[in-house]
Amino acid sequence: MHTDGIAKKAGWFAREEDSDPKVREFARKLTDHLAAALDVPIAQLRSRWLATGAKGDTETFETRALTYYLSRLRSPRTRFSYAKPFRVRYYRAGSLAERPVCFYLVFATGHEKGLFEMNDVTVDALSDFYGEIYSDSFLSVFEPQREQQEGTAAVRREISNHFASTPFTVDDLKRYCMQDTYLLKSAEYTKLVRDMYRSGKLTRLDPGTPSNAKTRYQLASQH
């Protein structure tokens, strides 16, 4: 999903009142096509653009477009229960801080096994991609590591917030968090939970050999 391209095409809403009739017609056709591709009413798309993108906040517009697209994938009319976006970033020359999203790789599946396995395959593919694109610099390892660190911190927050008073298994955590942009593999979810258990931040509610599907955990303060 080329969110940057979507924002640029939506920018043609500003040309709907152009003095040149050819420009007006082109703007109308382009924005109509964009609305059809996103499966959103043209008036709704226009209002979202005017509220954000037209004011210079294209990042918010792109995020809303992505969120809407994911909601359509998970809607009752599809057979998809899960959908996940992976952001693919690029660097602007001379700045490591600026890492704008170029596009998203998005997959959808009707089964949790598809979510778990496609997640892990795509994480590996993105690591290979960054390694190839930035092979002449340290960025080849910097970007995957940074994404992993940000993802780990985000999942820890979800445990403290979403699962604050609810027992959960590792697979529960994966089903909930893997649908976000986090660049974490299944094994890293397992390691994170077990490390939190060993450090006393989580308690384990079920005895026996740990199982991702069945062993329940809870925040230590809630037990």
pLDDT of 113-134, one tens digit each?
999 999 999 999 988 888 887 7
Note down the domain range covering 159: 111-223
Flag whether 92 is in a domain: no
Per the structure, how many domains does the chain have? Answer: 1
pTM of the predicted structure, to 2 decimals: 0.84
pLDDT of 17-53, one tens digit each?
999 999 999 999 999 999 999 999 999 999 999 999 9
Q: d(Cα 162, Cα 159) in Å, to the nearest integer? A: 6
Flag whether 16 is in a domain: no
Contacts of 133 (CB under 8 A, 6+ apart): 140
What 3-state class would DSSP assign to 87?
strand
Flag whether 80 is in a domain: no
pLDDT at 97 over 60: no
Flag whether 18 is in a domain: no
Flag whether 102 is in a domain: no
Flag whether 21 is in a domain: no
pLDDT of 130-184, one tens digit each?
888 777 766 666 777 888 899 999 999 999 999 999 999 999 999 999 999 999 9
Q: Cβ of 10: how many Cβ atoms within 10 Å?
A: 26
Q: Cβ of 113: how many Cβ atoms within 10 Å?
A: 9
44: Cα separation from own chain's centroid: 23
Flag whether 141 is in a domain: yes
The per-residue pLDDT for 90 is 75
What tokens were used for 109?
């599946």
The per-residue pLDDT for 120 is 97
Looking at residue 145, which CATH number applies to its domain?
A: 1.10.10.10
Pairwise pLDDT comparison (198 vs 88), residue with the higher score: 198
What 3-state class would DSSP assign to 25?
helix
Flag whether 15 is in a domain: no
The per-residue pLDDT for 202 is 97
What 3-state class would DSSP assign to 215?
coil
